[in-house]
Amino acid sequence: MAVSSSSLTLQPVLDRIAAEIENMPARGRPADYIPALAACDPRRFGMAVAELDGTVHGVGDWRQPFSAQSLTKVFTLALVLAGGGDALWERVGREPSGNPFNSLVQLEYENGIPRNPFINAGALVVTDRLHTQTGDAAGTLLDFLRAESGNEHLAINKDVAASEAAHGDRNAALGHFMASYGNIGNPVPALLDQYFRQCSIEASCADLALATGFLARHGVRADGTRLLTRSQAKQVNAVMLTCGTYDAAGEFAYRVGLPGKSGVGGGIIAVVPGRCTLCVWSPGLDERGNSVAGVAALERFTTLTGLSVF
């Protein structure tokens, strides 16, 4: 039975979810194609919920930093839209891909225009634009996350970045392929360095739930200033819902019913517009790259609370 959202107490809900997750028999496997992530314990679990006023509730390993990976794509997208408006959409689409996140095939069919900003090709285009706008895409992102989370100690894990670079041939191929169509403005090696550093930022569930809060506040940052228009915030949430969990976006929408973005570090962020933001972390992934326990926890959250966009 769902709890009335008007009288909702979040901590008991999180405690109940954590107890249920503890009994899950299968948690998936950590990402093994990035050696620095392969050693993570798949049974670790943390979850945090940040309310609009910055109050945070958490359970498990909710203060443990982990590799944000593709969760960062939400923030780079928002920063590019804030700095350059809708011009980005001339270079990247807004449709689900239906293919793995690092696929080259679809990109060739569509003349170097990525299907959406959350697959790797699309994220490279977004980071390219942010780097052009700021001169330091990864540094700009890190400053933003520090400000929104209130945690000045957030940092890039250099070992993870080096591991990404050493095993980043597919991303390099995507970058060079798009450059051949004129869809990358910066030198590809410089872009890849920014992208690998971006994905290697470490943050906790609490940090990322807080940092995502502007999407629940319809574009307003933690300090009360506006990052995005209400329309832009709606658009980012919409793309998260339809494209945020790789080629499992339909299943995620069916089970969870919230805009969400996953990463192969085991994290998932999700938004309840006008109410709160969530981040869950558990490193064990399914075959599509989404956290097994993370999806289950978010499904239980929306079921128990009734907080969903549907």
Q: Does 246 appear as a known binding residue?
A: yes
Q: Alpha-carbon distance 231 to 233, whole Å?
A: 5
pLDDT in tens, 149-200: 999 999 999 999 999 999 999 999 999 999 999 999 999 999 999 999 999 9
* Cα dist from 224 to 28, 53, 72, 148, whole Å: 40, 10, 22, 11
Q: Are 307 and 49 in contact (CB under 8 A)?
A: no
pLDDT in tens, 187-227: 999 999 999 999 999 999 999 999 999 999 999 999 999 99
Q: Does 157 appear as a known binding residue?
A: no
pLDDT in tens, 231-248: 999 999 999 999 999 889
CB-based burial of residue 32 (10 Å sphere; 0-12 exposed, 13-18 middle, 19+ buried)? exposed
Q: Does 195 appear as a known binding residue?
A: yes
251 vs 33 pLDDT, higher one = 251
User: Which residues does the annotation mark as catalytic?
Assistant: 70, 73, 195, 246, 264
pLDDT for 223: 97
pLDDT in tens, 136-148: 999 999 999 999 9
Per-residue pLDDT band for 121 (boundaries 50, 70, 90) equals very high
The mean of the pLDDT values for the chain is 94
Q: Give pTM, 2 decimals.
A: 0.95
E strand segments, 106-249: 155-156, 201-203
Q: Are 149 and 207 in contact (CB under 8 A)?
A: yes
- Assess whether pLDDT exceeds 70 at residue 34: yes
Q: b vs e for 55-68, b when ≥16 Cβ sit within 10 Å of the residue's Cβ?
A: ebbbbbbbeebbbb
Per-residue pLDDT band for 26 (boundaries 50, 70, 90) equals confident
Give the residue among 164, 155, 62 at the shortest CA–CA distance from 123: 164
Structural domain boundaries of the chain? Answer: 5-305
Was domain 5-305 assigned CATH 3.40.710.10? yes
pLDDT for 106: 83
Q: Alpha-carbon distance 166 to 152, whole Å?
A: 28
